Structure 1
Amino acid sequence: MRSPDRTAYGSWERSAIVDSVAVKARPSRMRADASRNRERIVTAAREALVEHGPDMPLDEIARRAGVGNATLYRNFADRRDLIRTVTLSVMDRVAARAEGLLDEEPDAFEALRHFTHQAADERVGALCSLLSGAFDRDEPELLAVRDRLTRAVEALVDRAQAAGQVRPDVGAGDLMLALSQLTRPLPGTACVDIDHFVHRHLQVFLDGLRAPAASVLPGSAATLEALRRPS
């Protein structure tokens, strides 16, 4: 009886292994590509929301993300789904930055300063338009990340005040309100490249937070809870 051709069998076996690895690798690459596409869409949507509000053109978002409309709709069922995802993404990233600075930056005012500029880079100013009724703001996932963000930002402000570095007549709501107002283009303008001015004006605002205070502020400190109440 003729013995098996081990050379041929070994070649076939190696080929089968290579093919098996390739088959397993293709879905992995496809998942990675899909994840990158989704992230690009969310980033583009965040920028468009800052400029145009919740009525931003979805075609424009797809163009900015470098994907086709079909890819956008494959990832997000509709405008509401996309806005919800962007909202969660912004809040999660901003909360993570605040928590990281609480752990890593020993100087309380420096932590607050870094957070303010980093939150501006995250386009946190888009949150007001995102939370304008496009979806249920009381859903558990949104409440969880909102509470996480609230705790972290309040801790940054409280720590700086306890250290005597921030005036006592301001609250976390004052900080987030200033961030919201200063990270959105002026109404009726096409001022999309505002980063240079944003960080400049945020630094002026931060200087105004320092203790001792140079003036008496009208009204009372804004809290994040007060900002969430309907007017």
Structure 2
Amino acid sequence: MALDITTTAARPRAARLRADATRNRERIVNAAREAIVEFGPDVPLDEVARRAGVGNATLYRHFTDRTELVRQVALSVMARTARSAEDALAEEPDAFSALQRFAFEAADERIGALCPMLSTAFDRSDPAVEPEARRMERAITAIMDRAQCSGQVRGDIAVGDLMVALTQLTRPLPGSGCAGFDRFVRRHLQLFLDGLRAPARSRLEGTAATLEDLQGCH
């Protein structure tokens, strides 16, 4: 009986330890994401630990090296972006409102700063990365398809055009150090979204950019 009592008493403590470990891991990944936006993927790990409010030993207990941490940040960004698109599609009754909500949430995610840096820091053939990338692409494509099928978005664009615009508009200007840059991002993103509305007021040069086109640019 004594063994049973001890085992039962140990379970809540073990659960608390697992919950603490999960929270620490999430804090580290979120801190790394913010630090990468500011300093790039070579940000000192000491800075990541400081922002996360954990010790270096805790960081290394979760992530053995920088590569593993950056990989986890990439997975987190893709998962958050996919979830944002899925939630907008499920919760917004209006097709253009779903597209607009996703675009602003993707801007808040700072994908313009993160994606170019992260894309060179992890293996695209990684078995964990590939399904997250496909999930993200499916969700964003579904949002664009719904908006175009509803007649609210011009038909001479594709998902690649949206992703190029989001990436360019949310990428900080080189060497600008511009305080309050986010207010310019949201302002110009709204101008871009207005340009997507149907009926189109101008004819675009070239052809619509697909996700396959963007993949061929790497």
TM-score, L = length of structure 2: 0.90
Q: Which amino acid aligns with 2:40?
A: G
Match of 2:118 in 1: 130
The structure-2 alpha-carbon separation of the partners of 1:218 and 1:50, relative to structure 1 and needing over 3 Å to count, comes to farther
Deviates more, 1:191-200 or 1:108-117: 191-200
SS where residue 117 of structure 1 aligns? helix
Match of 2:175 in 1: 188
The counterpart of 1:82, out of the listed 69, 78, 100, is 69
Match of 1:49 in 2: 36
Q: CA deviation at 1:193?
A: 4.7
Contact 1:108 1:165 in 2 (8 A): yes
Counterparts of 2:180 and 2:86 in 1: how far apart (Å)? 28
Counterparts of 1:68 and 1:143 in 2: how far apart (Å)? 32
Q: Which amino acid aligns with 1:145?
A: E
Q: Which stretches in structure 1 are left out of the alignment for 5+ residues?
A: 1-12
SS where residue 137 of structure 1 aligns? coil
Q: Which runs of 4+ in 1 moved over 4 A?
A: 19-22
Q: CA deviation at 1:20?
A: 5.6
Match of 1:26 in 2: 13
**Matched positions, count:** 215
Deviation per CA, 1:76-135, whole angstroms, max 9, x where unpaired? 111110111111111111111212222222211000001111122223221221011x22
* 1:93 corresponds to 2:80: yes
SS where residue 128 of structure 2 aligns? helix
* 1:224 corresponds to 2:211: yes
Match of 2:195 in 1: 208
Match of 1:68 in 2: 55
The structure-2 alpha-carbon separation of the partners of 1:179 and 1:93, relative to structure 1 and needing over 3 Å to count, comes to same
Deviation per CA, 1:136-169, whole angstroms, max 9, x where unpaired? 1112221111111111111111111111111112
Match of 2:133 in 1: 146
Contact 1:170 1:222 in 2 (8 A): yes
SS where residue 109 of structure 1 aligns? helix
Contact 1:51 1:185 in 2 (8 A): no
Match of 2:185 in 1: 198
Contact 1:167 1:210 in 2 (8 A): yes
Match of 2:165 in 1: 178
Deviation per CA, 1:62-88, whole angstroms, max 9, x where unpaired? 111111111111111111101111111
Q: Which amino acid aligns with 1:45?
A: A
SS where residue 56 of structure 1 aligns? coil
* 1:40 corresponds to 2:27: yes
* 1:113 corresponds to 2:105: no
SS where residue 165 of structure 1 aligns? coil
Q: Which stretches in structure 2 are left out of the alignment for 5+ residues?
A: none
Q: CA deviation at 1:57?
A: 2.0
| Percent of paired sites with the same residue | 61
TM-score, L = length of structure 1: 0.85
Deviation per CA, 1:43-78, whole angstroms, max 9, x where unpaired? 111112222222222221111111111111111111
Counterparts of 2:213 and 2:57 in 1: how far apart (Å)? 41
Q: Which amino acid aligns with 1:130?
A: L
Answer with 1 or 2: which has the greater Rg.
Answer: 1
